[in-house]
Structure 1
Amino acid sequence: MPSSPDHATESRPTLRESVPPLREWASTFLVGLFMGSADAVPGVSGGTIALIAGIYERLITAVTAVTPERVVGFLAALTPLSGGVSVREAVGIFDDVDGWFLLALLGGIVTAVVTITRVVHWADQQYPVVLFGFFFGLIAASAVVLLRAISIRTVGSGAAAVVGFLFAFLLSGSADGVLGGDLPVVFVAGAIAVSAMILPGISGSLLLVILGQYTRLSTALSEFVDGLTGLVTDGSTDAIAGQGPVIVTFVGGGLVGLFTVSRLVRYALDRNREATLAFLVALVVGALRAPVAEIRGRPGYGFSAEVVAAFLGVAVLGAVFVLALDWYAADFEIEDI
């Protein structure tokens, strides 16, 4: 005999029973900090950090469990429009998508991204050669690691790799002038970048670099956070009004991308894994042009012997960092994603 709706609701956990222990919250938040730190710099993937931490499968399961039906059901359970408010029903749906895990992880990611982007904004203003040299090393080492992990055995896969390389190479360093920085571009950039953040080896920030949006969005986020501080201290809303639409648009695009573009990437992997991986890895290789073009195109900078030495020296440090991560993720096979 099927259970009645009331009985089904009663079988749901209470809010107190649902909340995980503080230690579990703290450990998940810490992993989020590492993932966010990785996602905030080009060439390092938060998905790789998730693999190292042993939460990658749980993350993918939780993200794919968030469906429009569950979102609507959760909101409906908290409103009196469908038979009254039912906190237990809402908590049950929240548990079905591993909501506490996602909440703690997202908290860590956001905290790290805000912190790292402030550092990036400062370094971009003061030491661009060091910053983009480090990024070049991150991207180069990531390209080596990923190229080692894939094989191209068909004409279709080779063509996908060529397309991916040309797309990234031609767009890197010139996307800002081609695409501009209007809000629709920011929305699309958010959708693409955030959906890539859950793929091991592919950095969402790297895609922002290719699209010419990385420096701009880092500056926007840094100024927006300063604006929030200013709102509290002196009531000024200028920075929030100026950068708020950019941040809201990017976040909106990211949410859409996380639950749409990421599923399209998953579909492409299921249909033709070799060609899809070849395209994604070729993007990383083609993006090596971006840090070089960034320095070459800046007024007052050029590749003198001194600049080249500094650029390559810091690049080595970035490459060592990625190779160390790869060593810790030695059990990761790109074919497993």
Structure 2
Amino acid sequence: MLMATDAIGSDAVHIPVMRSRILDLLAPALTGDHPVHIDGTLGMGGHAEAVLNRFPHVQLVGIDRDQQALAMAGARLEPFGSRVHLVHAVHDEIPEVLDGLGVECVDSVLLDLGVSSLQIDEVDRGFSYSVDSPLDMRMDQSGGRTAAEVINESTSAELVRILRDYGEEKFADRIVRAIVAERDRQPIETSGRLVDIITEAIPVAVRHKRSGHPAKRTFQALRIAVNREMETLPAVLPRSLDRLAVGGRMAVLAYHSLEDRPVKDVFREACADSAPAGLPMVPESMAAKFRPITRGAERPDADEVSTNPRSASARLRVIERVRPGSISPQNTTKESR
């Protein structure tokens, strides 16, 4: 949920990525009498505020695991009063959240994946490799292992797997050997020390050729592991689609291929019929329950990227429900209206 930040005095204006385009794509699903919109990654509430402003009859269910972000969003969205329902939860708990609110189905869902500007810019959160801070990286600081605990307590094999799978780091073995040697001498507790270890472990010639910071891939991998992002994403996609009403739309913003790939796969499967090949006619029961709205993944335009460089990697996909029925094995009894 990356946002640009424009300083105005001591305050900051947060501009959500692809805000106008997302509003336009969700508009057909939000023009009814009492539409319900889920923002499953609420952040500081920028997208949610835009939805509530443009669609005056929308009821918002805002979900976030980050209690600090949830509090900031609550203050931002306070003018909308009873139209706003905020819940501290992880986005793969959307069905449970809706059940708790007595909501059977919804008209739109937005997931803005990844780390927020709040988390990057807060010095004591440990997400950034450009500022020395305690290695935390938890989006929900009320529980779970910190990045420091992952670094200092995981086996070498587990650390190599994390860096390879979640960071696509070619020098995972070298970096982990350096980490283990250093943690045996003294536990690694700060981002600055970890950055130094990673930088020294990568060959000098490679450092100069790489695009981006030498620690970028490792920090991404640790963040994903700490917050179980690749475990929750495959669950939230079908579970959210199952709660969409006919005519409802789901939009997902991803920021790297690890996030975008499962979104692409789940959306493609949801938009395909289940009939065996060769049938002259597809039975209604086997017809696709969704249709794509975007052709592939849409990207921010040049103007947005120049204003907000952090948006450059964003990829937006949107699909629409056209028939009732479940696509998720976990939710076979829950069908949209």
Per the normalisation by structure 1, the TM-score is 0.24
Which structure shows the bigger proportion of residues in strand conformation? 2
Which structure shows the bigger proportion of residues in helix conformation? 1
